[in-house]
Structure 1
């Protein structure tokens, strides 16, 4: 549906398939010269078809130049191959995630046309969209800013509900994630549109809270290390309690990301035993 002038939100999923969230949002942004997608849904046609149906039936198959992917995860970039073939649009993704998108989503064939490095600006006609490098969640996570309106599309970097998991196994780093959050405070933001959750109309108030939460978690984990809770799995149990298998998997990644940050900060040390840390 059109949620702002020339900005359309298409909600996909609803079957619990988008990770720990019930749905994922992709967006279509219309300029006077052409339109663009922000993210492209799932890798299978059944779950991505509503995105293309909306583009064709509601919007009338408008000229579309780009598919901007926020990051490599399958519910955000999974549909790029199908959307690209249907619309003729080119695919742009953060350089740090480009190889993974080609390998995992393109299944070895090249689907990424433009690896992004940050601050590229695209003139849609009356609207300028700037690519903003925000690594942390993954190595190549990007946000996209409509400069004139102060509207930022964030994918998972900032979510309308909950906090994002930092995936160190995919090049993510907690230190970079926090730095990327702080970087957004320098932008004149009015609205955040994320891949999960409601519209955020006061993002500059939310961002410091997100940073504070991460730093408080650092201190909580460091305190537990000092108390003798040293194994990753024991830390996960103390912090999160009983969880489903899926949420437990994500919680473990989150704890590992904080431990690696504490190690980078010189406040914790990886012990000889696997998945075990101690205070520095």
Structure 2
């Protein structure tokens, strides 16, 4: 099911392409009985905001943020001033200088969309569920690449996996990400993402069993060839996985040196069930 063929939905891609954003941030316009909601206004580029305004037909009632990374946030306040629409985001913003006009919690409903708190990529990350079973996934699930998961306090691999399982449990009909194309096979996509993360974890643990290592050592063992533009993201991803292995009792960290825990290295703990969907 293509988003272009769904009534009441429009996508406008922000002019902010790059190594972490693909072709740019998808700004989704979602019609509801009272008007139109905008999910992730993205860039504050004037032409992009004017395109959103034109597509909204003068009926923009709410501006929703999946999270407060710059490629999603910077257009929010300018669009709010242009339309008078409140900016809605997770109650506990990850950006100290930003407070949403309408604070959302897990399960909040605004403009007919149910907010789902899905931390992992960002502590304040929300997905939005429609009554028809469509999920706007923000950066939790992307249509062009896997998601960068940073270490604590900004992210968590465990929470990211829990979020994937929670979305899967909803049996969504379509996933509409903030970057890349719509995903018409949600279960296949989510299963592949979970398998990718667990495979990456196994690879990191195998590298750790080669002997004690600093983060730089582990980068050389795990990422033998990576573009310079992605090096920092890969390093953060690696550290987030190492933190999960440590929290699971499968790795130890002391004075900047990581070691496999010989007593527990082969026994991942049982996964806790994801939170039930509202």
**TM-score scaled to structure 2, two decimals?**
0.87
Deviation track 1:144-168 (CA, whole Å, cap 9, x = no partner) reads: 0112x21111111000122111122
1:139 aligns with 2:120: no
Contact 1:27 1:39 in 2 (8 A): yes
User: 1:35 maps to which residue?
Assistant: 36
For structure 1, which runs of at least 5 residues remain unmatched after alignment?
A: none
Q: More helix per residue: 1 or 2? A: 1
Q: Give the drift of 1:60.
A: 2.5
1:136-191 alpha-carbon deviations (Å, 9 max, x no partner)? 101111100112x2111111100012211112255211111101111112213000
SS in 2 for 1:130: strand
CA RMSD of aligned residues (A): 1.9
Match in the other structure for 1:262:
245
Aligned length: 259
> Are the equivalent residues in 1 in contact too, given 2:122–2:154 (CA < 8 A)?
yes
Question: Taking structure 1 as reference, are residues 99 and 14 closer, same or farther at Cα in structure 2, changes over 3 Å only?
Answer: closer
- In the aligned structure 2, how far is the partner of 1:206 from the partner of 1:56? 32
Which residue of 197, 200, 204 corresponds with 2:187? 204
CA distance in 2: counterparts of 1:93 and 1:246, whole angstroms: 30
Aligned to 2:29, the other structure's residue is in SS state strand
1:61 aligns with 2:45: no
1:218-249: CA deviation from partner (whole Å, max 9, x where unpaired): 11111111112622222223333333333000
Q: 2: CA distance between counterparts of 1:113 and 1:95?
A: 10
Structure 1 position 13 matched with structure 2 position 15? yes
- CA distance in 1 between partners of 2:223 and 2:4 (Å): 38
Please give the residue correspondences for 1:1-280 in structure 2 after superposition, counting only pairs within 5 Å: 2-13=4-15, 15-16=17-18, 19-42=20-43, 45=44, 47=45, 49-62=46-59, 64-96=60-92, 98-100=93-95, 103=97, 106=98, 110=99, 112-122=100-110, 124=111, 128-147=112-131, 149-168=132-151, 171-228=154-211, 230-272=213-255, 274=256, 276-280=257-261
| Partner secondary structure for residue 24 of structure 2 | strand
